[in-house]
Structure 1
């Protein structure tokens, strides 16, 4: 199932977003187009990219009017070229225009994330390093944006503060050090949960290893220092996962992966991307009564 079974949650969000946009009604459409007017619309890409969010767009139109016909011509994860038709929508012109903006907003944003993710994945071709996202997502859209990362070929980091322990610099300061932070956390969490520790130096890496961290994040390290850290970790504790993070770009991601890290987390997948240019064009099918 799409979005890992969160379809009802998505439907409720879409209803809320429609209420935000439509309010008491689409006054422009109501005063310009006769009731009963029907059309066939095409959704098409105005630039090349990777599509994500087609089921979400379909759900928008379904919730606006179950009588609308939505025909997807491409699937999520598919590369498309400029001018390619992604879907056709047919039925009430009023209802098509009511759902147009929300459907396009979702398609454009999610396709932009998938397109950017695919570019990073392509840059890592041939290397075993895994690309993951972060929690730097748009409030209320995390489920969708992390889905788009998966569509683009990436993987997801933790979904929230609840599903993994990640001890960062402020936790270390508050707890009085890495050792104390890991010890306190280990004594409170279930045995099935892992502990990740953010480190910025070889000394912190050594402390995190000694404290029993399951995952060690190497934050904003230069490639040579990172490679040294990875070698030391794997020599002493080969089961520990290494993660690189901090200002990762398309220009640097392959160099970072060459240090031997297992995972690279990239926040810009979901906070610094360009929405894919996608449009809906209406082709009048038949008229109705007076407006």
Structure 2
């Protein structure tokens, strides 16, 4: 299953509703101290260089608090921005801008971080035939949001969830007793199987597997795997891959490289929002 407009819109709404319930519930006890007749203008500024991502979530955070809030963007989704650059300007009731500030920025800082970490690796392997994919190692509740951010950063999506596609991993194989038994139990070719050794790769190929994940293969073992495979199956490599070694794996000609770190090891992008009365 691929991300589409409806899946993204549902995620935006569900994520923001949950975030508002978590932060405000029925009242913002601080913002209610501010008179409701005061209007404000808020400027969101970047405190570091990064890739922008999360505009739908940011805008929804304010619209669900007050439909009267407007937002003008100075940066497009997926565009790189510089330190001290103005990202957007909001107009609305001062107290309502205060209510949405942290909720909106939380989405922006998290999804921009995901897109940025993805883009760094995508650029690293841009001159090869390999593509970068995400995993299910995402922040709970933000699966769709982070997979959206991966695409904004130039990466590709794996399955959206367990309901989506079959991936036979180590613990599944243990339950069947062997790779052969596990593959026989699937009953079709619409699956991916994880192997941890060259021996397991050979068995998977003998069983007719067409989509094989090389889990935690060293560069030397991955090279050996490509020579054994000879194009029989689609190969993917994953595990302990980072900015320092991803190009070495890509140069082997392995079509797919999946990296969990682009969604789970992110460092939030630093934004600030300053509000003034008008």
User: TM class, shorter-chain normalised?
Assistant: over 0.9
Counterpart position of 2:253: 260
Alignment of 1:60 onto 2:61: yes
SS in structure 2 at match of 1:64? coil
Alignment of 1:118 onto 2:114: no
Counterpart position of 1:230: 226
Q: 1:57-109: CA deviations, max 9, x gaps?
A: 01111111111111122111100000111111101011111111110000000
CA distance in 2, matches of 1:85, 1:55: 18
Q: Structure 2 vs 1, CA of residues 227 and 245 (structure 1 numbering), >3 Å: closer, same or farther?
A: same
| Match of residue 247, structure 1, among 231, 240, 254 | 240
Question: Does the aligned pair in 2 maintain the 1:224–1:259 contact within 8 Å?
Answer: no
Aligned-pair RMSD on alpha carbons?
Answer: 1.4
Counterpart position of 1:25: 27
CA distance in 1, matches of 2:192, 2:240: 19
Match runs of 1:149-164 below 5 Å: 149-164=150-165
Q: 1:22-50: CA deviations, max 9, x gaps?
A: 1231111222x222110110111110000
Unaligned runs of 5+ in 1: 286-291
> Taking structure 2 as the reference length, what is the TM-score of the superposition?
0.95
CA distance in 2, matches of 1:19, 1:42: 25
Question: Does the aligned pair in 1 maintain the 2:239–2:259 contact within 8 Å?
Answer: yes
> Taking structure 1 as the reference length, what is the TM-score of the superposition?
0.91
Match runs of 1:59-78 below 5 Å: 59-78=60-79
Unaligned runs of 5+ in 2: none
Segments of 4+ moved more than 6 angstroms? none
CA distance in 2, matches of 1:75, 1:167: 39
- Count of residue pairs brought into register by the alignment: 275
Question: Does the aligned pair in 2 maintain the 1:42–1:87 contact within 8 Å?
Answer: yes
